[in-house]
Amino acid sequence: MNIHNAIKTARQQSGLTVSELARLANTSHSALAAYESGSKVPKIETFERIVSAAGFAIDIHLEKRMRHHSSSTGTKGEELEQVLELAQQFPVRPSKNLNAPIFGRTP
């Protein structure tokens, strides 16, 4: 979830208007509206203050992503080999003798 979506979701789920949440978070209506629209990005302290004023806490989940620089080419190659091995386990074409029921016919 993006920061602007998190702010908007927290505000909506708390039942507050933009003006009410701005007042509780000690920020301006225009700043909060800009954060919600994504045209401005708040500092982490401001983000935490806004979410807290809406009655929520921030919970961060870190997930490792594949790197896109040259030092990880070995890792990419290993991953590609694993994907190709997995792909070989699936048939390229369906079997000619599929045992599937024919709808509308009784056995």
At residue 67, the pLDDT reads 64
Q: Kindly report the number of other CB atoms within 10 A of residue 106's CB atom.
A: 4
3-class SS letters over 27-63: CCHHHHHHHHHCCCCCCHHHHHHHHHHCCCCCCCCCC
pLDDT for residue 39 is more than 90: yes
At residue 86, the pLDDT reads 81
At residue 85, the pLDDT reads 82
Per residue in 11-24, pLDDT (tens digit) is 999 999 999 999 99
How far, rounded to the nearest angstrom, does the alpha carbon of residue 26 sit from its chain's CA centroid? 28
Question: Thinking of the domain 3-53, which architecture would CATH place it in?
Answer: Orthogonal Bundle (1.10)
What count of residues does the chain have? 107
Going from N- to C-terminal start, the domains of the chain cover 3-53
Long-range contacts of 89-94 (CB under 8 A, 24+ apart): none
Dihedral of the CA atoms 40, 42, 48, 53 (nearest 10)? Answer: -50
Mean pLDDT score, 62-76: 64
> Which tokens hold the place of 12?
């909506």
CB 32 within 8 A of CB 7: yes
Confidence band for 66, pLDDT divided at 50, 70 and 90: low
Supply the angle between the helices 3-14 and 29-37 in degrees, to the nearest 10: 120
Enter the pTM of the model: 0.58
pLDDT for residue 69 is more than 60: no
